[in-house]
Amino acid sequence: MRIYECADYRAMSRQAANVISAQVIMKPDCVLGLATGSSPVGTYEQLVEWYGKKDLSFARVKSVNLDEYWGLSGTHPQSYRYFMQEHLFDHVDILPENTYVPNGLAEDAGAECARYDRLIESLGGVDLQLLGMGRNGHIGFNEPGDCFELGTHIIELAPSTIDANKRFFASEDEVPRQALTMGIRHIMQAKKILLVVSGEDKADALAKALTGPVTPKLPASILRLHPDVVLVADKAALSRLDNREGVMTV
C-alpha cells in the first residue's frame, strides 16, 4: 500500500484527483468505481476544475457507484445518484448512460443486487475504485460483521453510520435504515484502489485497518490484501498511526 500524508483536506483532494486523472488519461475508456460522502467532495471539485481547463475528458469513461440508500429515488436530494449528479456528472462530459448507481427504488432488492453484479462484470470490472471509510471502518456500506459479504447486497446501516450521516438530513428519523452496496468481491477485484480518509474521527479506525488484524469486524482492513492500494489521507486521519515507515508526505 502506498500512503500519502497530506497537510489538510484540500491537499488530500488534489492528490486523490491526481490519481484519478492519471487513470483517465492513461486509459480514457476506463471504468471508475465511485464513492459519495464528504471525503471525495473536494476530489470531485478538483476534477471538475481540471476538466474545465480541458486537462482531461470523461467522454469515454464509465462509472459504477458503490452504493445507494434503499428507498430513495435518484431525484431525492440525499440520494447518492443526486450527489453524483451534483458533484461530478452534471459538470463533466461523462455520458449519462455510462453512469451507474444501484436503484434504491427497485421492486426487489435481491434482483437489483444480482443485476448490479452482472452489470459490473459486463463492464469488465473496475479499473480504479475510489473509496471513503466510515468511522467504524466500513467501505462502501460493508458494515462491520462476522464475515465479508462478497456480492452486492442490502445492508442494515450501523447505528454509527446513521449517526454520522444524519447531518445530511433534516432529522435522524429521515436517514434510511438500509442501503444497497457493492460487496467486497468487486471492490477487491478492482485493478487499483484509491482510499481517501480525512479527519481525526477516522484516525482510530484507520490505524487499526493499517496495522491490526484483517477482519470483517473492520472491513477496511481487507484492503491490505490488495496489491495496488493508494491511501491518501490528511494528517488528522493518520494521527494515530505509530509506524510511519513508508508514509510519504506531500
Active site residue 136: yes
Closer residue to ligand F6R, CB minimum distance, 16 or 241 = 16
Active site residue 242: no
131 DSSP assignment: E
Cβ contact 43:196 at 8 Å? yes
Closer residue to ligand F6R, CB minimum distance, 57 or 215 = 215
Cα separation, 59 vs 227, whole angstroms:
29
| Cell numbers at 206, concatenated | 484507520
- Residue 152 touching ligand F6R (CB under 6 A): no
Active site residue 143: yes
Subset of 208-227 contacting ligand F6R (CB under 6 A): none
Orientation angle between helical segments 9-26 and 41-52, nearest 10 degrees: 50
Sign of CA dihedral 235, 230, 19, 31: negative
| Cell numbers at 93, concatenated | 462530459
Cα separation, 78 vs 191, whole angstroms:
30
Closer residue to ligand F6R, CB minimum distance, 53 or 170 = 170
Subset of 70-129 contacting ligand F6R (CB under 6 A): 80
Closest CB 54 distance from ligand F6R, rounded Å: 28
Which listed residue (136, 142, 153, 234) is catalytic?
136
Which listed residue (18, 65, 68, 138) is catalytic?
138
Q: Segment contacting ligand F6R (CB under 6 A): 6-14, 15-23, 33-41, 105-113?
A: 33-41
Cα separation, 165 vs 215, whole angstroms:
24
> Which amino acid appears at position 24 of this protein?
V
**Going residue by residue from 125 to 144, which x/- string records binding to ligand F6R, judged by CB under 6 A?**
-------xxx---xxxx---
- Residue 193 touching ligand F6R (CB under 6 A): no
> Which amino acid appears at position 34 of this protein?
L
Instruction: List interacting residues with ligand F6R (CB under 6 A).
Output: 35-39, 66-67, 80, 132-134, 138-141
Instruction: Cite the active site residues.
Output: 67, 136, 138, 143
